[in-house]
Amino acid sequence: MIVITGATGRLGRFVIEGLLKKVPANQVAVAVRNPDKAAEWAARGVQVRKADYSRPETWDGVFSSGDMVLLISSSEVGQRRKQHQTVVDAAKKAGVKLLAYTSILHADTSRMVLAPEHLYTEEAIRASGLPFVFLRHSWYLENYTEAAKRTLEQGVLRGCAKDGRVAPATRQDYADAAVAVLTGTGHEHQVYELASDTGFTLTEYAAELSRQSGKTVTYEDLPPADFAAALMQAGLPKGYADVLANSDEGIARGDLNDTSRTLSRLIGRPTTTLAAALQQG
């Protein structure tokens, strides 16, 4: 079986749909907190198993010996160590064939506040002795394109990334990489740094948004504390605003940029460009 955890999230849905194009539905299972959200897949023959990252007892029997597992990282920042350890322990107990994990780009060197939980999970997976694959993701391109309308209305894109380059890919791109790993061979013990073929600065993003919309959008670089304050003024909680500001600082350092083109080689096609994503979005 190929088992996907956190499958009803936005990335997970792309992964499941990709798998169903390559393998029979009865070879796919999803581990989800709310089975009702997976009812459509159940109707198509996918096995639905109820399991909650925060409740270790729910993972008994979710995996079986020989399963291929994709652990999609929890969305609960600050809780991931304990939550992910629960899944790793269950996978080890079952003796799965492969444990793939969606980590963060350059997890072992990144100074972003999001990185330590991912690195902890990688180390826990290594310590389990299971065959593994680390799918280290850069940012989602949707982080920018889904905010494009609001950015256009404001006429300004604020951040604290300076002239740093970010190389985000779409959820579809990352999902296709996961599908390639789960349905392919020879990926054991690989660490894949996954990013788009071509990165951009936030100034370049603003320029592309201006070009496509015909409206002038400028990038305003702020000190990190000022950027976080602006985000809070816009209604974001302090913790989330601080994470976003820290992430922009990471972009300034190059933490979310990678030029290896590993992602496009893995999926067998170019990654989605910023221009194309804006046109589609």
- DSSP string over 6-20: TTTSHHHHHHHHHHH
Domain ranges of the chain: 2-137, 141-166+197-257+273-280
pLDDT tens across 7-39, in order? Answer: 999 999 999 999 999 999 999 999 999 999 999
pLDDT tens across 141-159, in order? Answer: 999 999 999 999 999 999 9
- Report pLDDT for 280: 87
Q: Residue 273 corresponds to which tokens in the numbers above? A: 């460009």
Q: Please tell me whether residue 262 adopts helix, strand or coil conformation.
A: helix
Is pLDDT at 242 greater than 90 in this prediction?
Answer: yes
Q: In angstroms, rounded to a whole number, what is the distance separating the alpha carbons of residues 46 and 249?
A: 41
* Strand positions, DSSP E, the chain: 2-5, 28-32, 47-50, 68-71, 98-104, 132-137, 156-159, 190-194, 218-221
- Report pLDDT for 149: 93
CATH for the stretch 141-166+197-257+273-280:
3.90.25.10
Q: In angstroms, rounded to a whole number, what is the distance separating the alpha carbons of residues 124 and 118?
A: 10
CA angle 218, 145, 12 (to 5 degrees): 155
164 near 249, Cβ under 8 Å? no
pLDDT tens across 97-134, in order? Answer: 999 999 999 999 999 999 999 999 999 999 999 999 99
> How big is the chain, counted in residues?
281
pLDDT-derived band at 1 (thresholds 50, 70, 90) equals very high
Superfamily of segment(s) 2-137: NAD(P)-binding Rossmann-like Domain (3.40.50.720)
249 near 160, Cβ under 8 Å? yes
First to last CA, the chain: 34
